[in-house]
Each structure stands twice: as C-alpha cells, then as structure tokens.
Structure 1
Amino acid sequence: MSPVTSRLVRLSDVTPAEAGRWADLVDRALEPNPFLSPAYLLSASRWLTRTSGILLLVVERDDRMIALLPLSREDRFHGTPLRYATTAGAFLKDDAPLCAPLVDTEQATVALDGLLGFLADRRNGVPPLVEITLLPGNGALHEALHDACRRAGVPMLERSRFERAFLDRASDAPAPRDALSRSKRKQVERLTRRLEEATGSSLVMEDRGDDPRAFETFVALEAAGWKGDVDQDGGALEVTPGAVEWFTDVTDGLRERKNLRLLTLTAGEDVVYMSLLLGAGGSLYSLMDTYDERFAKFSPGVIGRVMEQEFVLGRTTADRFDPCLHPKNVGPSGLYRDRRTLVGVVLATRGLLPRLLVRSVPTLRRLRARVVGTPRETPENAS
C-alpha cells in the first residue's frame, strides 16, 4: 500500500501541476464543493488580497490529491486565549457559502486519517483548535469526519446549526411549482402572464454558460440595477475591486470543465433574469443572480427562481441544487421545497486544554451563547 503524505501549501504557491490534481479531486469529492475548486479559490488569489493568509492542508497518495482543507490562522478562539485555525478566514467567511473540505470518495477513510494525523503533530505549526464552518450536517462527509475523529480520539464540538433552502432530486415532495402554497402559485402564474403581456413574448429559460459573452451580459445587467449602486452597498461585481477579473477567471475555468451554467430568462429580445450556477460532481450552486429592473413590478426574481428549479430538474442531471440563500431571506427561501442542514464544528486535535475546552459542557454553553446568528450571505445573492 502506497504511503499517504500531508503538507501545507500557501495558496499563492500552488503550481500548475498541483492545480490540476486539485481540480480532479473536486468532482471525486465525498461532498462536491465548487467554492474550494482551483477555478474559484486559486483564481481569487490572483485578484483579491483577502486570500493572502490561506493555507491549504493537502493529503496525497500515489501522486493523487485525496483531501484538501483551506485554513487561516487566528489569534483567539472566540474569547479564549487559544489560537485556532479556521475555514472562515477573511475571504471564505464572506465568499464561500459552503466550506466542506474536499475528500476523495473512494479513499475517504485514509484521507481523513491522514488529515487528522497531520493536524495532531505540533511540528506542523497548525493551532490545536480547528474550526470547519458551513459543513453539511448530515450525509457521507459528516459521518466520515465523525468516524475519523472517533478513531483518532479527537473531540468534535458542534458550535452552530441552521437550515437553508435546497432542492433535492431524490425528494418525494411535489414538483417545485406544485410545492408552493396555493396563493404563491397563483401569484407566480399571474405575474408570469402580466410580464408576457407587457413584453409581447413568452418567457423562455435557457443555459448560456458556454458563451463567454453571456457573462458580460450578466455583469452589465447587475451593474445597471441597485446592486451597482455604491451608496446602497449593492456589491455588484463591477463596483467591487478585482471582482470582475476574478469572476472572469472563475467562469472561464469552470466552463472549461463543463461546470458552469448561466441560466438566462428571456422574453423575446429582453433578458429578464440571470442566475450564475457553479457545478461540482452532481451538485449545482446558485452563487449570484440579477434581473432587469425595468420589469421589477412583475417580480422577475420570483419567476426566475421557480423556473430555475424546473430547469435544473427537467434539463440537467444534477442531483442537488443549492440556491445559497441565507435563512433570513424568508421570501426567496419559501420558493424552495426542501431544506439542508449546515453546521459549524470545532476539532481539538491535540493538547489537554483544547480538549478540555471542547469537552466541557459549561464552556460549550458559553461558546454557543457567543454565536451571533448564522453565517453571512454573500452580498451578490441577497435579493
């Protein structure tokens, strides 16, 4: 059996060969995660200074990457004097709605054992407390991590838990439109008719992800609306330094690997609504969307989100679709029939004090009291 090796790599030091092995891991991962793909994360390091502190814990075997966990070092763990490492560093805490580490499905046990073994060795310079945020709270990865911690004797504390909107092909719930309340369904149908009457054309949803010019249309449409208003803190790509350049790289990289969809709702020649979907494995994630504000009175975002779900189920092979909506967005979240649980966990990988901290019930209660709400939504997907 070939040996497993683990090491830390600065994000800025990743070589082209390493990036290739990393990209291959994304689609093999137990929990596919496009936000930890090189197309997304590595390209960000070229344009955004907020990525400068990210280290990649890489586990390899037979010249193949089998696990990857991004970490940023922090000085004080939520009011304690203990240093810690977290996935929620300056960049990922705001720009990654999923922080599940990449773990090879076929080698999950050995990959996680190698990862925890590396973290347990103080010579590697990683703090003894490791926080993993925005991790699916059920499913194969969560179970595999739990089992690996048990094997290694590593206490794991769940610090936060919440649910967000989701679409699961395996759900036995009705079709997306049928799953809406009767009043909401009638509202969507009425708004659709009024929009079609106003434009004189039927609404058509199509995927323009293969066309690089479609992303330029998205950027311009977003900038023309409230998200492009700096005074409203809209956060459009065009008004965020480096964002257009970064996302041009993102879309180019994902398009090359057939992992990009740009769903576009049109009425004749008019683009009404657009949604940027990032893919990995059998999952799709809608990181940001926008609409033409000339049609605002017809609620194109509502119509678009419903038709987007129908497109995903009817015209893609994706098993899961996550619109990446913060639960506080009650209205948009109500358009989705399913829910997914996300948790934040802390691992005490070594040392008496960190392990006592994680195992202490009174301390656990105090730490939970410090958690304010749930992780912040990316500005681009607020609606």
Structure 2
Amino acid sequence: MLRTLDAPLLERWDALALACDAAPFLRPGWTAAWARAFGRAGALRLLTVERGGDLVAALPLLTSPFGLRSPTNGETALFAPIAADSEAAAELGDRLVALRTPAIRLDALPGEDPHTAALPDAARRAGAAVLVRPLRRSPYIDVSGDPVAFRKGLSKNRRHGLRRLQNRMREAGEVTLTVHDGRGDDDLEPLLADGFRLEAREWKRAAGSAILSSPAAVDLYTTGARWAAGAGILRLAFLRLDGRPIAFGYCLQQGGVLFFLKLGMDDSLAKLGPGVVFTQHLIDYAFADPGTTELDLLGENEAYKADLADGTREQVRLQIFPSRVAGPAQRAAVAGAGLLRAAVVERLTEGTRDRLSAVRNRLRR
C-alpha cells in the first residue's frame, strides 16, 4: 500500500529501520529533511508491507504524473528498501510493480544487497521491462582490527607523505581533533557555520557543489544535523590548529558504522595537508571506538579514498517500466539515450565537462 505519511506511520517506519539496522539515510528523520529541503515533502509517500499488524517492509517514494521515483539527488549517500526478511522484500517488490504508474526510477541502490535485488526480480516476474545501470562504487574501511596493521598496509608513499604532513602540522602549532554530537554544551549553529565555510572550497563553489552554493543543501544539512543530534548519531569532527578549525567532517554514527558525508578544509594551509591529516585522525578515531567496525567513506571512489579503502560497494540505478505493451520501447529509449549521452560527453573538452557538471549540480539541487 502506498500511504500518506502521518506521525504514527513515521514512528513505525523509524522503528523498522532501527530493527533492520538500516543506514541513517533510510530513516524518516533524514528522508523528511531531504524532502523538505528540496521541495518534495508533499509528494513523499511510503510503500508498506504489513504482517499480522506489524510493519515488515517500507520504501519511500516520490509521486508525479510521470511515475514514481526515489527521494534522491546528488546529495544522497544511499537509498534502499527496508525489509525484515527476504519474504517481506519480495512482497514489497510485488507491490511496487503492481502500482499503476508509467515508470519507476530508484537511484543509489546497493547493487549487492539481496533486498534490493528483490525489486527487479519482482518486476521481471510480472513481465515488466527492467534496466539496471551502475552509478558508482563507494569505498569503505574496516576499522574492527589493528590500527597499526592498517597503517602498515598503506603504500610506502602514502605513509611517508602522511608522516611529512603530520610533522609540518605539529611544527605549525598544537593539533587536535574534536568531535561534537550536537548535545550538551555543543551549539550547532556556529559549528555548522564553521563546517560549511570549510566545505565551501573554491573549486566546489565554482562547480556549484558546495553546501553553501545551494540554500536547499544548507537546509538539508542543517535540519539533518538537528534531527541526527536528537537521535544521538550526529558527529561533527574538526581538526584544529591552535584552536582554529582547519578541516571538517560531517558524519553520522549508527549501528557500528561511521558514515563520512562531507569533507572540508582550509585551502590557505594546503602545504600542511589539512584534508589528509584530518582523514587520518578520523580513521584513528574510528579505530579507537570499540563500538565502531566500519568507516564508510561514501560517494565516489576518488583517488584519496581508494588509497585507504579496504573495498568498495556498487550503487546502481533501477528503472522499471511496468507496461507490457509500452515497457520494452521505453526501456530501449532510455538505454539508447544513456549510451548517446555517454558518447557525447566522451568527446567534450575537460573545461566544457566542468561547466556542464556545474550546471548539472545546480539542477540536481
């Protein structure tokens, strides 16, 4: 059933997410913050499966005349169905395909998750056309072991470069890592202001991808921080030099995982490598917490992450075209457009790609 949200349903959704150890981005607090920030709160619905009066599966969706899609955009770290077991996931897939809609598009799905696989499986059983395409591979670090062994496992160049930057930093002043959870004496507003300022690096402003480039993004990460602080999962980490914040990480910590969403740094101190030193401090922080087993670096598998990561997880885009008559043609058209777009982008100059990327980032927001 595709249901309009109310307070009791939100509570049941959150209870299911916690019981299933779902990522914080799948909880209603974060989803509602996203929907409000990007003007889609009125279109947000929840597809549900109940068993004996208990909620056993849920999938938030946005409605439109053109079909259904996930509440996701360029600011989304992860999206997935929540299900208590494989049977609930399969029924959720059946109910999704049974909805009378022209098309369904779900982004940022974990490609190797069995509950995610239940959605295209249900669509194929129903005779719908299905298109699954890779979006990115997201890196992570296993922090359940020995931090000394982790450091020894890094490349020689990485270890040497880190030691050099740490020595430079110590020579410049006192270096500390402080982590704030938004409770007690923590005042969120100035902490977020410092963090957003550090995150708004010049190249990110030029590309339109900085948080401060978009009022909607500021709303998301501010409202999301307030919700996460109330839920006890907010972690705003700052690397400070003589008390001055020089690098920042916007993180959420839940279920043994530290999710690293945003990185910022003071580029005027580039010679000290504030981003590199901060990331290593955050890794040390995660290793030192006995309740944390993983540092999820999220996003794309960029070079600085790939050097640290123990592995990656694929995220995919799932598109379903339920009509047995028009569905195959819709799928072919979408797949063909994707191939054409990739071919055109391949021929563009780097400068043109950067300008188009900036426009795309603004449109996504």
TM-score range, shorter chain: 0.7 to 0.9
Query: How far has the Cα of 1:244 moved from its partner?
Result: 4.0
1:366 aligns with 2:301: no
Question: CA 1:93/1:51 → structure 2, altered by over 3 Å: closer, same or farther?
Answer: farther
Q: Give me the identity figure in percent.
A: 22
State whether residues 284 and 320 of structure 1, in contact with CA within 8 Å, keep that contact through their aligned partners in structure 2. yes
Question: Is this contact kept in 2: 1:163–1:339, CA < 8 A?
Answer: yes
Deviation at 1:163, TM superposition (A): 1.9
Q: Is 1:228–1:239's contact at 8 Å kept on the other side of the alignment?
A: no
1:40 to 2:35 alignment: no
Q: In 2, are the aligned partners of 1:35 and 1:98 still within 8 Å (CA)?
A: yes
Partner of 1:338: 311
- Equivalences for residues 63-78 of structure 1 within 5 A: 63-73=53-63
| 1:120 maps to amino acid | V
Deviations, residues 270-302 of structure 1 (Å, cap 9, x unaligned): 323221112443433211122234433211111
Structure 2: state its 5+ residue gaps. Answer: 346-356
Q: Which residue of structure 2 aligns with residue 141 of structure 1? A: 115
TM-aligned CA distance change 1:262 to 1:226, over 3 Å: closer
Q: 1:126 aligns with which of 61, 78, 101?
A: 101
Hey, what's the Cα distance between the residues in 2 that align with 1:45 and 1:364?
A: 26
Paired with 1:219 and 1:213, the residues of 2 have a C-alpha distance of: 11
TM-score normalised per structure 2 = 0.78
Distance 2:195 2:177 in 1: 17
> In the aligned structure 1, how far is the partner of 2:329 from the partner of 2:146?
43
Q: Which residue of structure 2 aligns with residue 8 of structure 1? A: 3
Instruction: Give the AA of the match of 2:23.
Output: N
**For 1:1-383, what aligned pairs fall within 5 Å after superposition?**
6-9=1-4, 14-29=5-20, 32-73=22-63, 83-87=66-70, 92-101=72-81, 103-105=82-84, 107-113=85-91, 115-121=92-98, 124-127=99-102, 129-145=103-119, 148=122, 156-160=130-134, 162-169=136-143, 175-199=149-173, 201=174, 203-211=175-183, 212-213=186-187, 216-223=190-197, 226-227=200-201, 232-233=206-207, 235-238=209-212, 240-315=214-289, 317-327=291-301, 329-354=302-327, 366=336, 369-370=339-340, 372=342
In structure 2, distance between residues paired with 1:230 and 1:340 = 25
8 A Cα contact 2:195 2:264, kept in partner = yes
- Structure 1 residues 141 and 169, CA gap change in structure 2 (3 angstroms): farther
SS in 2 for 1:25: helix
Alignment CA distance shift 1:368-1:294 (3 Å): closer
Q: Give the drift of 1:167.
A: 1.8
Q: Which amino acid aligns with 2:319?
A: V
**In 2 relative to 1, CA 53–333 (structure 1 residues): closer, same or farther, beyond 3 Å?**
farther
Aligned equivalents of 1:341 and 1:225: distance in 2?
26
Matched position secondary structure for 1:272: strand
CA distance in 2, matches of 1:242, 1:146: 32
Q: Deviations over 1:27-46 (max 9, x none)?
A: 2336x232232221212344
Deviations 1:1-55 (A, max 9, x none): xxxxx2232xxxx22222222222222336x232232221212344432555443
Deviation for aligned residue 1:100: 1.5
Preserved CA contact (<8 Å) 2:3 2:47: yes
Alignment partners' CA distance in 1, 2:134 and 2:205 = 33
Distance in 2, Cα, partners of 1:279 & 1:118: 32
Whether contact under 8 Å (1:195, 1:295) holds in the other structure is: no
The 8 Å contact of residues 79 and 109 in structure 2, kept in 1 or not, is answered as yes
CA distances 1:37-79 after superposition (whole Å, capped 9, x unpaired): 222121234443255544332333455433232333567xxxx
The alpha-carbon deviation at position 179 of structure 1 amounts to 3.2
Tell whether the 8 Å contact from 1:260 to 1:279 is kept in structure 2 after alignment.
yes
Asked if the contact 1:160–1:368 (Cα under 8 Å) also holds between the matched residues in 2, the reply is no
Letter of the 2:80 partner, please give it. Answer: A
Give SS of 2:164's match: helix
Partner of residue 352, structure 2: none
